[in-house]
Amino acid sequence: MKKFILLTATLLAGCYNDEPEITLEYEDMFHYNVNDLGKITYEEVECLAKNIYFEGRGESLQGQIAIAHVTLNRQKDKRFEDSICDVVYQGPLDNKTNPLRNQCQFSWWCDGKSDVPRDLWSWGRSMTVAVKVLEGEYKDPTNGALWFHSTEVNPDWKFVTYNVGKIDNHIFYR
């Protein structure tokens, strides 16, 4: 079923493009197989894509690539969880099932809203970015950043980290 949803989202993404700055070649979207990513499971690709989708579906391709790399940088850093999904869903739980509101590493996971992607074009794009980042096609534009936040917020923790730059509506830190 998951592969059917991915195929459907990918097909829809290839049929509709109102963002001319995107440099993805849509015919390339049909040539990857998540099984070719080695030890990376479909579930991990989907977790990375959800983080891209919910944290940056309105961002440019470069902004989405940056979000993906922060997620992977955390997965590689011993201060964070070991798997992509564990990094994405990191945060305290109530009764070991539901994330505590506004206390997660990524805000979308514990904002109390649905975590089901509704914009199929953006979902297909997020899946494509996730796969291409995992395949190594897109290099890290954040120079190893482990944190980011929207320009609309002003978190306390930003003063104890090193600002590595701004991409679209996010500021990235190491």
Largest alpha-carbon pair distance within the chain? Answer: 46
| Within a domain: 21 | yes
Condensed to tens digits (0 to 9), the pLDDT of residues 66-121 reads: 999 999 999 999 988 889 988 887 765 566 666 556 655 766 656 666 678 888 99
168 neighbors 56 (Cβ within 8 angstroms): yes
Condensed to tens digits (0 to 9), the pLDDT of residues 119-152 reads: 899 999 999 999 999 999 999 999 999 988 888 8
Q: What letter represents residue 56's amino acid?
A: G
CA distance 19 to 22: 6
Burial state string for 82-101 with b = 16 or more CB within 10 A and e = fewer than 16: eebbebbbebeeeeeeebee
Q: What residues have CB less than 8 Å from 56, skipping those under 6 apart? A: 63, 64, 66, 67, 168, 170
| Within a domain: 17 | yes
CA angle 65, 43, 35 (to 5 degrees): 85
| Within a domain: 165 | no
Q: What is the pLDDT of residue 86?
A: 87
| Within a domain: 166 | no
Condensed to tens digits (0 to 9), the pLDDT of residues 23-32 reads: 444 334 434 4
pLDDT tier for residue 21 given thresholds of 50, 70 and 90: very low
Domain count, the chain: 1
56 vs 106, which has greater pLDDT? 56
**DSSP H stretches of helix in the chain:** 2-15, 42-56, 61-76, 84-88, 120-134
Q: What is the pLDDT of residue 117?
A: 85
Residue 110 lies in domain = 2-142
| Within a domain: 149 | no
Percent of the chain with pLDDT over 70: 65
